[in-house]
Structure 1
């Protein structure tokens, strides 16, 4: 168990852009090793959310939380419950208190899994929702294509990253047609970032600077 957690900590630190980690334990065996591995993860400067899925006694859960886990869920927990808990922890770790993530007139409602443009629902695909959600969690911050692909496909052998460009192109078109002020900017050589486009009124209000 200790070797597994040490290996996971090394992978998280050196092998790619992960936003969070979920570990499932078969039982309470070797909890000392698990706690030590969690402390090692935190000692290595990893602040990403960590959720433990295991059937444990209350005092064992508390000890894991004290060692660095962000949450401990029973193995009976439904996958959708784990996903929602993970979203909430990640959202708060990035400074968002509400499940509604706004950018201009565009809102990603994580609770309802819904996109709103000026209060009107916008229907988009599951992958497109994941992409927009990642961007809305970090407005103005470039996100690499590697990070997107890791979030969309995990450790699976996913498709070529060109598929990401296709999803972003479709998402941009849908946002534009819906009148969204949130725009996705390409950061060449890196990936994408979310920005709020200026409205016509804002452009008119911008001061003119004379250059002699």
Structure 2
């Protein structure tokens, strides 16, 4: 899942970005709305993490204008404004969630993950391909009942492939959803992670290369 953090305080932004990346998110960052708008014009995000007070002013007003213009990405506001009236204003402006500072990084991760899942409400909580199961909420993958130890990036790639099975997911789509702006689209990072997944999951294979296109998860096609 790919998210963007909009926060002008570099220290707070660093903590949020680090916490989300450690939890397996692909994270881009912006210090103001201008930078955020540029990123959102070229990237598809699953969630927007937004400081309430930015250099341009109150983000509630900025978010409201963008909601009216059709921006649908789920948003969570981070703010020191904790009065009930402030919460109401933020939610009425179009925020989907509201978390006051200081906050727990663990709680933020859970709230962001819940908002990301909201974009794919038709996806079942447990995905299955053959004897491989992926529990979205528990962040667990099992094969034939045996728990698999995956890195956050491996989990993210497998989740995308299993969510879209048996359709083919292109390398570009995997880069867009599982990596952030630091990734080099010309590199072989996708192939490396997929190969690691195949090795860990073992046989019979559940991830297949579609030459010239990308990858798919599912049973063997005869």
Whether TM exceeds 0.5 here: the answer is yes
Which has the bigger relative contact order, CA under 8 A and spacing at least 6? 2
In 1, the alpha carbon distance for the partners of 2:129 and 2:151 equals 19
- Give TM-score scaled by structure 1 length: 0.71
CA shift, 1:165, in A, is: 1.0
Is the 2:172–2:185 contact (alpha carbons within 8 Å) kept by the matching residues of 1? Answer: no
Match of 1:85 among 108, 111, 129: 111
Q: Which ranges of structure 2 fall in alignment gaps of 5 or more residues?
A: 1-7, 9-30
Is the 1:6–1:37 contact (alpha carbons within 8 Å) kept by the matching residues of 2? Answer: no
Does 2:32 align with 1:4? Answer: yes
Alignment of 1:10-89 (within 5 A): 10-12=38-40, 14-25=41-52, 30-31=57-58, 34-56=59-81, 57-89=83-115
In 2, the alpha carbon distance for the partners of 1:43 and 1:145 equals 33
Q: Which moved more, 1:3-12 or 1:107-116?
A: 3-12
In 2, the alpha carbon distance for the partners of 1:65 and 1:184 equals 43
| Paired positions, count | 191
Q: Which ranges of structure 1 fall in alignment gaps of 5 or more residues?
A: 204-212
Please report the RMSD computed on the Cα atoms of aligned residues, expressed in angstroms.
3.3
- Give TM-score scaled by structure 2 length: 0.68
Q: 1:157 to 1:168 in 2, by over 3 A?
A: closer
Q: 1:152 to 1:183 in 2, by over 3 A?
A: closer
CA shift, 1:106, in A, is: 2.5
Match of 2:146 among 120, 128, 137: 120
In 2, the alpha carbon distance for the partners of 1:44 and 1:50 equals 15
Q: Tell me, what secondary structure is at the counterpart of 1:46?
A: coil
Q: 1:55 to 1:145 in 2, by over 3 A?
A: farther
> Which residue number in structure 1 is paired with residue 4 of structure 2?
none
In 1, the alpha carbon distance for the partners of 2:77 and 2:211 equals 35
Q: Tell me, what secondary structure is at the counterpart of 1:42?
A: helix
> Which residue number in structure 1 is paired with residue 219 of structure 2?
197
